[in-house]
Amino acid sequence: MFGPSGSGKSTTLQLIAGIATPDKGRVLVNGQTLFDSANRVNRPMRERRIGYLFQQLAVFPHIDVIDNVAFGIAGSKNTARKKAGEWLERFGISELAHRDPSSISGGEKQRVALARALAINPRLLLLDEPLSALDATTKRKLIEEIRRVDESSQIPIIYVTHDQGEAIALGESVLVYERGRIIADGQPLDVFSQPKSETVASLSGVENIFTGRIVEQHPDRGTMTCELGGCRIDVGFAPAQENIVRIAIRAGDILLSTIEPKGISARNTLEGKLRAIESVSHDVHAIVDCGVDFRVTITPHAQQELGLEVGNTVWLIIKSHSCYLLR
């Protein structure tokens, strides 16, 4: 589940787990009904056997690590502790068994919490932004562990995130939430590579979103021409109900040249002025004024090799099918 804060992702998990009660509808896991408003079925949380890993308060602070993992395991205390020890060993943290939670790192706490969620042998695992508070290195390691759990346990996992990288790395399918509704679904790369709605485009980091006006349509060529402020571009043809459209173009899908391109297949060659150069992570964004500002991703090496400076005249090269219309 992917979407902005407040869009309903965590609420959905709470409804599945039984922490909150839906106004109406059904909750089924593997064909078993956990909630059904029409038939007045509402199984209590303790009977649902659902593992739930929260973003915060991942471990109980008043008991040691092994008792954290043993919490909720059926059977005697010795049986529960033995099974908990096996899960700690599986996650490579058996040496933490008798440590106080306050003395271990954030990544270790999340491993403990994940082991605890799995130790009850859940029919479903709910993960609510479990990596958001972790550094990049720890996050990568835990992504690998979650992927390994997913492959080895055969337990269905619902994973909430607002991080596109996590959704692509872990998701077999993605549901995009906006204001309590699902606005897109499918395989992560399909959803994020050419998003159909402006919300998905913005969340997935599309840098250029413009308002355009359709001025010509060429269905025989598979394109149509749109006016964006002071320039025109050809975009892939799509039947449009209105003349005014929203157009998205990824900064990484635009090529930049210091000489006017000739004899190329791309339909759009725009002349402009380099207005600004910004460092963005390991890349550089060139902001080019072609009547509207385009943001273009290049490497620092390309910037140096091309001798780019603010005020230079440059040309942008954009394929028509790299420009897509948003709902």
Q: In sequence order, which residues have a C-beta less than 8 Å from that of residue 1 and are 6 or more positions away?
A: 9, 12, 13, 158, 159, 160, 161, 174, 175, 177
Clarify whether residues 127 and 180 are in a common domain.
yes
CATH of the domain at 123: 3.40.50.300
| pLDDT for residue 245 | 92
Does the predicted TM-score (pTM) go above 0.85? no
Average pLDDT over residues 23-34: 94
Domain hosting residue 49, numbered range: 9-199
CATH of the domain at 237: 2.40.50.100
Clarify whether residues 174 and 251 are in a common domain.
no
Of 171, 199, 227, the one marking the end of a domain is 199
Clarify whether residues 140 and 30 are in a common domain.
yes
Q: Is a pLDDT exceeding 80 seen at residue 135?
A: no
Domain for residue 2, yes or no?
Answer: no
Q: Is a pLDDT exceeding 70 seen at residue 47?
A: yes
Average pLDDT over residues 211-235: 92
Domain for residue 162, yes or no?
Answer: yes
Q: Which amino acid is at 282?
A: H
Q: What is the pLDDT of residues 139-193, one digit of tens each?
A: 788 788 888 888 887 889 999 988 888 888 888 999 999 899 999 999 998 888 8
Distance (Å, whole) CA 112 – CA 96: 9
Clarify whether residues 218 and 195 are in a common domain.
no
Beta strands 124-128 and 157-160 are: parallel
Q: What is the pLDDT of residues 244-291, one digit of tens each?
A: 999 999 999 999 999 999 999 988 999 999 999 999 888 999 999 999
Of 199, 224, 246, the one marking the end of a domain is 199
Q: Is a pLDDT exceeding 90 seen at residue 23?
A: yes
Proportion of the chain in helix, strand, coil states, percent, rounded to 5: 30, 30, 35
Whole-number mean pLDDT of the chain? 90
| pLDDT for residue 281 | 81
